Structure 1
Amino acid sequence: MRKIVLPLLLAALAFTACHTDQKFEINGHVSDKNLDGEWVYLVPMENAPVERVDSTQLKNGSFSFKGKVEAPEIYIIRTRPFLRLSHQELLVVKEPGTLQVYLGANSKVAGTALNDSLQNWKVQKEIIDNKMLYLNQNLKNADAENQAKINAELDKLRAERANFSFQFVKNNQNNVVGKMVARIMKGAFTAEQRNELGIE
């Protein structure tokens, strides 16, 4: 009898562990704690009919989403449109594990390998984007000589952004984060980079 029960018990434990691993949890908070009652939405980046959109209300400046996940997928965490002026939308990977999310002027996520990787790419891209925004603002009032210098610096920053994104995609070609960044940034890649990545 013992020989039969033990394998059955081990199989049951393995089945339970497998299904437990497929649970996800997102714990978030917002920069403004006076928004209680406002809704936060978890929206698939692609294939987003109403029935696939999840929502929850803010309470004490916090929110959470829980559920099961069959395979990693990119989602957007967002508020209603007016609040997005102060609470930046955030791309997250819905995958097994627990995420910590902050929504504010510069939203961020942490907690799993894919989300940490996505956050690092976001931070690097925003650093370059902010430098380019500053230079573009100065470009408007610059004389011809300084315009040439600013445009040269902008070209360097564009190349830097494309190169680090290319390397990121190259290192993440087999996961949803790499595929998403490839779609977002492919227009910035050179023909050689697109060919190496196998994208059109």
Structure 2
Amino acid sequence: MKKYLFFAASAALLMACSEKPGYDITGTVSDSNLNGKYVYLYTYGSNDAAPLDSALVQNGTFTLKGTQETPALRTLRFAEDVVEPVRANTGENAPFSATFILENGKLQATLGPSSSVKGTPENDALATLQDKIKATRQDWDKLIKDMKSEDKEVAEAAGKKLDEIDAAVTSFVKSYITDNNNKQSAAKLFYDFRYNLTEDEQNDIIAQADSVFKTVPGINAMIDHLNILKNVAVGKQFTDFEMADAKGQMHKLSEYVGNGKNVVLIDFWASWCPPCRREMPNLVNAYKQYKNKGFEIIGISLDSNADAWAKGVKDLNITWPQLSDLQGWKNAGAALYGVNSIPHTVLVDKDGTIIAKNLHGNELNAKLKEVVK
């Protein structure tokens, strides 16, 4: 009998050793209306592709099991006709959807108005960060509403508070990214917060990141974009291009820039862009103050409709030269200057050297006071 027990124990041990490790996702769904519906597992960044797996929600729970050879970003969500997609705040999960690191181990998914996946060190760290982001933004919706107030003081106070919250969130997200430059979750956040990070900050992060970080969807495009920006960095000569004015006549940028006469602000904007419209009165005032002192502005519009462009120029009292190829975000000049958000400004000295980028408001006024004599 002892001999039999020995062999039985040995066989069980061998079977256990031969079993591949796997993942076991236990999920809960807070909405009872989703009972009887399927939740799907997708490759992150490929939501149009077929799901990798699915699970039926029963009594508010579901289970997914499998084996994952290497950790990878995945997204859990319902079909769009079951849960209508909602755009989430940057860095947060959308309701009833969660992006996480799929890796072998026991994972716990919570899908609801606030969603998360926990159970492994990286997923736990990501969920903690997301909770911190959400807590910091607890007054976000009210402040957005207050910004639209007709009471100027209320609107300005709300705008200031929103900027403070945004800066705080960006600060601790940046810390997470730099502390985890070998993690896919950090790479996803890097992509999500790319508009909040300066060009120098992005270059520093990429320089330190490992190959796993760089495999995340979107990172290669960011690297390509940063390489374009190096060609139009501060201290470089401006890049020339040719584009039509509102009458269809072609002009080279060099007709206005680098001719030894003026300091020139190249302003990438569009009539449909609210931040551009908010900034325009400042540009109008700066132009009035400095246009006879060796200062010029050349507007590059990312409009795609000629009538909307013309109306924007008129309504905003723009009197400086304007060019556009009416290709929207595919604007050829914007591509050469790595423009992926507007308003985007490039300040060029009289000899064609780029001396500053993305100056707005008081920062632009201070710089013009320094360089335009």
Q: Same fold (TM over 0.5)?
A: yes
Residue 193 (structure 1) aligned to one of 184, 197, 201? 201
Q: Is the 8 A contact 1:40 1:57 kept in 2?
A: yes
Separation in structure 2 between the aligned mates of residue 145 and residue 36 of structure 1, nearest angstrom? 48
Q: Which residue of 2 aligns with 1:66?
A: 65
Q: Which residue of 2 aligns with 1:25?
A: 24
Separation in structure 2 between the aligned mates of residue 142 and residue 110 of structure 1, nearest angstrom? 44
Instruction: In structure 2, give the amino acid aligned to 1:16.
Output: C
- 1:189 is displaced (CA, Å) by 1.1
Given the alignment of the two structures, is residue 42 of structure 1 paired with residue 50 of structure 2, yes or no? Answer: no
Q: How does 1:44-123 map to 2 (within 5 A)?
A: 44-47=43-46, 49-50=49-50, 53-84=52-83, 87-123=95-131
Q: What SS class does the counterpart of residue 173 from structure 1 fall into?
A: coil
Separation in structure 2 between the aligned mates of residue 156 and residue 192 of structure 1, nearest angstrom? 21
Q: What SS class does the counterpart of residue 84 from structure 1 fall into?
A: coil
Residue 170 (structure 1) aligned to one of 158, 178, 183? 178
Separation in structure 1 between the aligned mates of residue 41 and residue 135 of structure 2, nearest angstrom? 26
Indicate the structure whose relative CO is greater, using CA pairs within 8 Å and at least 6 residues apart. 1
Instruction: Name the TM-score, length of structure 1 as normaliser.
Output: 0.82
Separation in structure 1 between the aligned mates of residue 104 and residue 36 of structure 2, nearest angstrom? 28
Distance 1:190 1:107, change over 3 A: same
Q: What SS class does the counterpart of residue 105 from structure 1 fall into?
A: coil
Separation in structure 1 between the aligned mates of residue 171 and residue 200 of structure 2, nearest angstrom? 12
Distance 1:64 1:186, change over 3 A: same
Q: What SS class does the counterpart of residue 78 from structure 1 fall into?
A: strand
Q: State which structure, 1 or 2, has the greater radius of gyration over its C-alpha atoms.
A: 2
Distance 1:191 1:34, change over 3 A: closer
Instruction: In structure 1, give the amino acid aligned to 2:61.
Output: S
- 1:90 is displaced (CA, Å) by 0.8
Q: What SS class does the counterpart of residue 113 from structure 2 fall into?
A: coil
Q: Which residue of 2 aligns with 1:16?
A: 17
Separation in structure 2 between the aligned mates of residue 189 and residue 66 of structure 1, nearest angstrom? 38
Instruction: In structure 1, give the amino acid aligned to 2:60.
Output: G
Q: Which residue of 1 aligns with 2:160?
A: 152
Separation in structure 2 between the aligned mates of residue 142 and residue 159 of structure 1, nearest angstrom? 25
Separation in structure 2 between the aligned mates of residue 131 and residue 33 of structure 1, nearest angstrom? 28
Q: What SS class does the counterpart of residue 20 from structure 1 fall into?
A: coil
User: % of aligned pairs identical?
Assistant: 26
Q: How many residues align?
A: 186
Instruction: In structure 1, give the amino acid aligned to 2:130.
Output: K
Separation in structure 1 between the aligned mates of residue 143 and residue 149 of structure 2, nearest angstrom? 11
Instruction: In structure 2, give the amino acid aligned to 1:55.
Output: S
Separation in structure 2 between the aligned mates of residue 128 and residue 189 of structure 1, nearest angstrom? 18
Separation in structure 1 between the aligned mates of residue 111 and residue 82 of structure 2, nearest angstrom? 10
- 1:83 is displaced (CA, Å) by 4.1
Separation in structure 1 between the aligned mates of residue 151 and residue 46 of structure 2, nearest angstrom? 48
Separation in structure 1 between the aligned mates of residue 46 and residue 38 of structure 2, nearest angstrom? 21
User: Which structure has more helix as a fraction of its residues?
Assistant: 1
Q: What SS class does the counterpart of residue 59 from structure 2 fall into?
A: coil
Deviations 1:21-44 (CA, angstroms, capped at 9, x unpaired): 3x1110001113353321110111
Distance 1:57 1:118, change over 3 A: same
- 1:62 is displaced (CA, Å) by 1.1
Given the alignment of the two structures, is residue 141 of structure 1 paired with residue 149 of structure 2, yes or no? Answer: yes
Separation in structure 2 between the aligned mates of residue 147 and residue 60 of structure 1, nearest angstrom? 46
Separation in structure 2 between the aligned mates of residue 161 and residue 70 of structure 1, nearest angstrom? 33
Distance 1:145 1:34, change over 3 A: closer
Instruction: In structure 1, give the amino acid aligned to 2:140.
Output: M
Separation in structure 2 between the aligned mates of residue 77 and residue 139 of structure 1, nearest angstrom? 34
Poorly superposed stretches of 4+, deviation over 6 Å:
none
Q: Which residue of 2 aligns with 1:5?
A: none
